[in-house]
Chain A
Amino acid sequence: MLQSKSFVKKTRQGRVVKVVREHYLRDDIYCGAPSCKTCDTSAARLSTSASTVLIVDTNVVLNQIVLLENPAIDDVVVLSVVLEEVRNKNLAVYNRLKALCTNSLRKFFVFSNEHHKDTYVKEMVGESPNDRNDRAIRVAALWYQSHLGVNTQILLITNDRENKRRAIEEGISSETVESYVRSLGKPDLLDLVVPSSSAGVSMEDVEDLRPSKKKVIYSEHKPMSEITSGLHHRVYHQGKLRVNRYNPFEAYVGSESIGDEIVIYGRSNMNRAFDGDIVAVELLPQDQWRDGKSMIIADDEDDEEEDVHLVPSSADDAPRNENLVQPTAGSVAPVSGRPAGRVVGIIKRNWHSYCGSLEPMPMPAAWKSFGQKNYFIGDRDTENEVLLIENDINTRPFSSQVLACLPPLPWSLSSEDLANANREDLRHLRVFSVDPPGCKDIDDALHCMPLANGNFEVGVHIADVTNFVLPGTPLDEEASQRGTSVYLVERRIDMLPKPLTEDICSLRSDVERLAFSVIWEMTPDSEIISTRYTKSAIKSCAALSYVEAQARMDDSRMMDPLTTDLRNLNSLAKIMRLRRIERGALTLASPEVKFEIDTETHDPLDIGMYQIREANQMIEEFMLAANVSVAEKILRHFPLCSLLRRHPSPTKEMLEPLLQTAAAVGLDLDVSSSKALADSLDRAVGDDPYFNKLIRILATRCMTQAVYFSSGDLSPSEFSHYGLAARLYTHFTSPIRRYADVIVHRLLAAALGIAKLPPIFLDGPQLMSIADNLNHRHRNAQMASRASVELHTLIYFKKRPTDTEGRIVKIKSNRFIVFVPKFGIEGPVYLVPKGDKGADWVNHNPTGQSSSSLSSRFVKQLFAANGGISC
């Protein structure tokens, strides 16, 4: 049976076209009950003796996914209409639901009601999509009831009162989540029910009782049709809403139709839009812009750097740079304020997990989130959880299906591994690793052997993760979803299960491990004569820390072979580094902070900048070289589907703030190329030893981040990596903690003819979505790490008022911004009391500062006892 779906769609060019799609209805979709007489039961998933089959609606899934994940809830039919709605609204919940539906231990059955000839419903005239979907759910429930007969009860779980009423009218049993769970008689389950979702039931009841509460707070969002026509007639303007990082009640909408940014002030003008939403904005009358303008002046530069935070490490992290007073040419008003507007509708939500607190509450402010735990603002565990949730980081333990993919433990090198013709036995080589102290997931090791002709054989050996993570397995899917391990100050959230991360793959010392090796022959001048790639078996003889390696190299009495290897490598690395810098690689400063953590309380004991030693640079150099060699190899074999990493050159506009600041101190920077910029950064040495570092930090802030991409999607001229001044670059050296490297390992194996290329690589769009997900995960992981460091910095200073030296990096009308090099943080110091403006969550109390001296050095007490934490 054929139905055609017809709808109107706007193309990317802004034209409106009618799209007609076929929609096939079928009679071979089965109900999933194994006892069914009429259906094919081979794919049935419900239990044989199910007396009650649950059908859930979209909001139940969205709000009660934790409950659904509890094994007590089973025999659930998930309709495809629900699945689709969940997918559109919250991808994270969708993935969890999908995991439930594929988990063989759970009895969740997906029923394609949208394609079943008896359950497909056509939208009626004047029916909203939501109503239509609710009706579709009821029709499907009714079909199930008549299909399965009287012995099985179909129970529609919905918290929507109207839906429930209609269902009962139509003869379907229906319950709310609470009443159903209550009927199960398991009090602990009740805790999992998210009460807020009772909006449909209790909230309405409350409102009915107190009509005075029904006052309008926000003006209603306009319907989509009105927005579309408004956009068409240029009454409304479309753009992405970006909330000011430091002022939640101020946002900007970049609008192409005006060619300027529209400022949105205040909660009611923002009208429930969140950061990242695509919104439709109506301009306020021009006289209200002035209002806005004066606000801008009052706040002038107040919109940035309101609190103390870590120094941003790239343009993406940095607060938006603003060029406020820039009257556009031809504008009539001499004081052209930026246009102000208000949000009239939301075109596309940027769904995202948020955390919030309840207010007002009797002291102390408590957090009640899912589960029964109370959370307190400022509590380390709470804040940790918040930063994980807000960055959408999956901390759930690995599922049993994923763990089933692991090789049996204890694992050891088998004779089959060695008999494999593609695997070279390199156990005789003196291989060693150098990592941060306490590193357990060692993914790289090196060796260096002098050759008879005076050259060196240098090998980089990377953990052979793809030997254990096979494409298409649940383990692979999970790793691909997670994308990267996340490093927090006191915790690591692994991409792969612990046995792989810390044992089977980790290239620990004195055990035989599988590796993927890149082996060069190099002249003493670090010229690469030949490169070869092979899977291998190695046995590391030492797992050194950077400090140990450095100490060995520095101690001239040590002459053992390992130390000699280290020294040889170091001298090669120095030449390579020099050559790279000559090519124009940028040494950008992103101060990394290191904590010493109390093993019992997990509170930070000491803080300091991460010290970069020669040994770090040595390892980094060989990793870069291996990545470049691998990038060349895979691109040569797979020009259309190689996963590479690029770093776009910053545009002139992006570098503008750097140039302005440099000009202010009388410095002329040449930004014509990365080489020119690198040279002028080298020359930028002031009287102050930190000056160069500050300029570099500023430069770093102007750059965007490097991203993964598939070589088929861009032209070769766009492949280059600006920061490293490399024509090609990829990630090969950390497959234990980055999924990109896993992909690259597979590409390299296919390029060598060892393994077949998994079919996913031939699927352009899918490869692109994988790359996008990796970029997204990578970025979230970085944000989470930063947030974690910020959190620990605050916890540390909360109890320890500290006197330290800082540098003024910016002077504003009422304050200056101070950078503290020792801890890599910056924040404002107010010269006048902050007064009435500004949010009260700024967590710093400027006491004990010598506000009179505007010299470039001053002593300031940071983080006095007032310690709320912004999140």
Chain B
Amino acid sequence: MEYVDSLTGFRLDGRRPTDMRQIRGEIGVVPKADGSALFEMGNTKVIAAIYGPREVQNKSQQVNNQALVRCEYSMANFSTGDRARRPKGDRRSTEISLVIRQTMEACILTHLMPRSQIDIFVQVLQADGGTRSACINAATLALADAGIPMCDIVTSCSAGYLSSTPLLDLNYIEDSAGGPDVTVGILAKMDKVTLLQMDAKLPLDIFENVMQLAIEGCKAIAQYIRGVLLENTKQLEYRKGV
């Protein structure tokens, strides 16, 4: 199958290889949580809720000099076309939970909140490729909404290599094509990579191109997220009458 039309240069959904899908972020979608956000990348829709910092529930897990970060990732049963029951804690979601937790831990200033716990819940409402990245982006927004101190905002984006072309932000069809795909997470301002995942082989020079493309994507998302946060802060200001 041709994932990039050789005559028009468009991908199956009409994007160019370096186009991202439409992204949208919304803060405060779960008022009961301390912080929450909805994040969409095309048809991928993810919700994140943050509880904390709060007292550690299981005292044995308490860490004395920093906060405990926990993450639970799940996929709604209705998130894919075939409505299937998904057992909790299967290998894939355990792995993604771990990835998100480690990525977020890297930016949360955990030493400021010793002996406390931060819970990150992310749920995929609709899956269309790039769920991992969408979850991280949603978690960043939600953490910011919860007012948890972070050294920088983390954003994530994927890029792949199909039909001999590096492609930004793969959707489900492209993702399931079986080509190599790279998920990158960066600390936007510090320009540091905190997450890099790829389970295929790529020659180094191509890999660098693909990764660079993903980083560009991350930066674009970071800019958007910053915009959302700024807008949100302005509204808060307005409400407080400052």
Contacts and interface: CB of A to CB of B under 8 A. Distances in A.
B8 interface: yes
B13 A756 contact: no
Interface string A129-153: 0000000000000000000000000
B232 to A, nearest CB: 24
B180 interface: yes
Given A17-B81, A21-B173, A22-B21, A765 B10 contact: no
Contact of A765 (B13, B14, B128, B178): B178
A26 B5 CA distance: 16
A4 B43 contact: yes
A765 B164 CA distance: 11
Nearest to B171: A22
Interface string B182-209: 0000000000000000001111001000
B5 to A, nearest CB: 8
B161 interface: yes
B191 to A, nearest CB: 28
A15 B82 CA distance: 9
Given A15-B82, A22-B13, A640-B201, A760 B164 contact: yes
Nearest to A13: B82
Contact of B14 (A25, A640, A763): A25
A102 interface: yes
Contacts of A765: 1, 162, 177-179
Contacts, number: 83
Given A20-B43, A26-B14, A762 B177 contact: no
Central interface residue in B1, B81, B163, B202, by most chain A CB within 10 Å? B81
B14 to A, nearest CB: 4
A115 B21 CA distance: 14
B206 A115 contact: no
B133 to A, nearest CB: 16
A115 B11 CA distance: 10
Interface in A17-35: 17-26
Central interface residue in B13, B173, B180, B206, by most chain A CB within 10 Å? B13
A430 interface: no
B242 interface: no
Contacts of A102: 6-7
Interface in A708-764: 756-757, 759-760, 762-764
A102 B8 CA distance: 11
B206 to A, nearest CB: 6
B175 to A, nearest CB: 12
A98 B200 contact: no
Contact of B81 (A18, A114, A762): A18
B60 interface: no
Contact of B10 (A18, A19, A112, A472): A112
Given A24-B13, A762-B161, A757 B203 contact: yes
A2 B10 contact: no
Given A19-B81, A24-B14, A762-B179, A101 B7 contact: yes
A652 B125 CA distance: 50
A615 interface: no
B42 A22 contact: yes
Given A22-B43, A769-B1, A17 B82 contact: yes
A549 interface: no
B203 A762 contact: yes
Interface in A62-89: 80, 83
B203 A114 contact: no
Given A19-B81, A759-B161, A115 B10 contact: yes
A818 interface: no
Given A22-B42, A102-B7, A762 B82 contact: no
B234 interface: no
B15 interface: yes
Contacts of A762: 161, 179-180, 200-203, 206
Contacts of B177: 764-765
B83 to A, nearest CB: 9
Contacts of B8: 80, 110, 112, 115
Central interface residue in B82, B128, B200, B206, by most chain A CB within 10 Å? B82
Contacts of B206: 759, 762
Interface size class on chain A is 35 or more
B96 to A, nearest CB: 23
Contacts of A763: 161-164, 179
B37 to A, nearest CB: 21
Given A17-B82, A765-B178, A759 B203 contact: yes
Nearest to A11: B82
A23 B42 CA distance: 10
A757 B22 CA distance: 35
Given A762-B200, A763-B161, A23 B178 contact: no
A98 B8 CA distance: 11
A589 to B, nearest CB: 41
Contact of A21 (B5, B13, B82): B13
A673 interface: no
Contacts of B12: 21
Nearest to A768: B178
A759 B164 contact: yes
Contacts of A472: 164
A58 to B, nearest CB: 15
A52 interface: no
A766 interface: yes
Nearest to B12: A21
Central interface residue in A80, A83, A640, A762, by most chain B CB within 10 Å? A762
A473 to B, nearest CB: 13
Contacts of B81: 17-20
Contacts of B164: 472, 759-760, 763, 766
Contacts of A15: 82
Contacts of A760: 164
Contacts of B202: 762
Interface string B204-226: 00100000000000000000000
A111 to B, nearest CB: 8
Contact of A98 (B7, B82, B128, B173): B7
Interface in B138-157: none
A13 to B, nearest CB: 9
Interface in B1-59: 1, 5-8, 10, 12-15, 19, 21-22, 42-43
A224 B187 CA distance: 52
Given A18-B81, A759-B164, 5 more contacts: A26-B14, A112-B8, A640-B201, A762-B206, A763-B163
19 contacts: A2-B22, A11-B82, A22-B13, A22-B22, A22-B42, A22-B171, A102-B7, A112-B14, A472-B164, A640-B201, A756-B203, A757-B203, A762-B202, A762-B203, A763-B161, A764-B177, A764-B178, A765-B162, A765-B177
Interface of B: 1, 5-8, 10, 12-15, 19, 21-22, 42-43, 81-82, 128, 161-164, 171, 173, 177-180, 200-203, 206
5 interchain residue pairs of minimum CB distance: A24-B14, A115-B14, A17-B81, A110-B7, A112-B8
